[in-house]
Amino acid sequence: MNAQKAIDLPSSQPRDAASGSTWHSQMPDDKAMLRAAVELTRDLSTARPGIYWGDMLASAFVGYATLAGAILVGNPIVAVLLGVISSLALYRALLFIHELTHIHKDALPGFRFGWNLLVGIPMLIPSFMYEGVHTQHHARTRYGTVDDPEYLPLALMKPWSLPVFALTAILLPPALLIRSAVLVPLGAIISPLRTLVWERASALAINPQYKRRKPEGEFARLVFWQELGCSVWAIGVLAASFAWGWRPLLIAIAVVSFTALLNQVRTLVAHLWENDGEAMTVTAQYLDSVNVPPPGFVAAMWAPVGLRYHALHHLLPSMPYHSLAEAHRRLTAHLEAGSTYGKASYPGLSPLLGRLVSSTMKAR
């Protein structure tokens, strides 16, 4: 949902990027890198159903089982531990929404429906909230501009914008509950409210200026059924809480809030956020994005489902997540040391956060 209105936006006046910036709107494309990215990975582009289904189902099962344990167990320490495990597992399960926006609709029969039924609707984040939105972030002329729903020039904002950006994620679960249980049903009766909810609260966007266009055709039918499922589920959860107590719901909200916070922190370091609104070349977009490749293993937890290779993903948006590690290995071996490709790789979360904080301190 678009909930970043409290964040200070920089002036539209063009300015130099923060010190140490690697992007430039007029940076020429590295054609050798772009050609290698395509030619060396042709055989890796097929999504493997066994991996997708197995990974998603296992993540959802662990997430829900440990959430049930956190609700039922009497020991608070054990409950917190189970809650953390649940957050991490549900985080991984939820991030398959990113894959759904890129894979061909016929590549994994039934996967979209299965994911929505098991993850999207119970978590009140159905796939329509990302489908048709995230692809705009990858558009050549939209990335990093005011028309990009997933971009804010965070490195050029005031330092306090960063904690505000991160902490607003904690409010996402109750906001989603209110949206599906109250606003969507009321919108079925009140047309202006329905329009407002769709335009401003129906997309996983961080750009406060983004307004979503009305759905059409087959997509509109998918939205209807997903919205109906979410509303029925949300109303049922609230009714059960009124009848049997609020403790299970509050624990579930706490777990999902931590999941949302994890994702927001990951978002902080998915890009360098140094563009001031101009259209960028593909190479500039790549260098404004981030890879955190092995040997570090912690990145697999805070950037799961292939998102530790986010810069590579911007070169090969349709590459299945399970193929990105091999694609990275091939490109690293093929392109000589010091090439453009290696400049988007970073050692971990802390250095990236440090760079971002340092940029905000220098930009103002």
Tell me the pLDDT band of 363, cut-offs 50, 70 and 90: low
Could you tell me which of 201, 232, 195, 231 has the C-alpha nearest to residue 214? 195
Report the alpha-carbon distance of residue 322 to residue 99 in Å, rounded: 10
Q: Is the pLDDT of residue 18 over 60?
A: no
Whether the Cβ atoms of residue 292 and residue 349 lie closer than 8 Å to each other? yes
Please report the pLDDT score of residue 9 as a whole number. 38
Residue 163 has a pLDDT of: 93
Is the Cβ–Cβ distance between 328 and 293 less than 8 Å? Answer: yes
Q: Where are the alpha helices (DSSP H) in 116-246?
A: 134-137, 161-167, 172-178, 184-187, 191-200, 217-244
Per residue in 151-209, pLDDT (tens digit) is 999 999 999 999 999 999 999 999 999 999 999 999 999 999 999 999 999 999 999 99
Specify the pTM.
0.92
Instruction: Name the band, by pLDDT with cuts 50, 70 and 90, for residue 25.
Output: low
**pLDDT over 90 (residue 15):** no
Bridge partners (DSSP) listed for residue 96: none
Query: What dihedral do alpha carbons 63, 183, 205, 297 form, nearest 10°?
Result: -10
Choice between 23 and 107, residue whose per-residue pLDDT is larger: 107
Asked if the model's pLDDT at residue 331 lies above 70, the reply is: yes
Cβ neighbour number for residue 358 with a 10 Å cutoff: 15
The size of the chain, in residues, is: 364
- The amino acid at residue 35 is R
Q: Is 127's pLDDT higher than 50?
A: yes
Inter-residue contact 346 to 308 (CB < 8 Å):
no
3-state secondary structure of 206: coil
Bridge partner list, 271: 289
Q: How far is CA 219 from CA 129, 215, 224, 231, 251, in A?
A: 11, 6, 9, 18, 34
pLDDT-derived band of residue 16, with 50, 70 and 90 as boundaries? Answer: very low
Confidence of residue 36 (pLDDT cuts 50, 70, 90): very high
Residue 269's nearest CA partner among 162, 143, 158, 178 is 162
Is residue 125 within 8 Å of 97, Cβ to Cβ? yes
- State the chain's maximal CA–CA distance in angstroms: 65
Helix (H, G, I), strand (E, B) or coil at 345: strand
Given a contact cutoff of 8 angstroms between Cβ atoms, the answer to whether 273 and 154 are in contact is yes
Q: What is the mean predicted confidence (pLDDT) over 331-354?
A: 93
Determine what percent of the chain is predicted with pLDDT higher than 90. Answer: 85
Residue given tokens 């290696």 in the structure block: 342
Write down the pLDDT at residue 137: 95
Could you state, in order of their start, the residue ranges of all structural domains in the chain? 31-363
Q: What is the rounded CA–CA span in Å between residue 107 and residue 113?
A: 13
Contact 117, 232 (CB under 8 A): no
Q: State yes or no: cis peptide before 295, omega within 30 of 0.
A: yes
Residue 11 has pLDDT above 80, yes or no: no
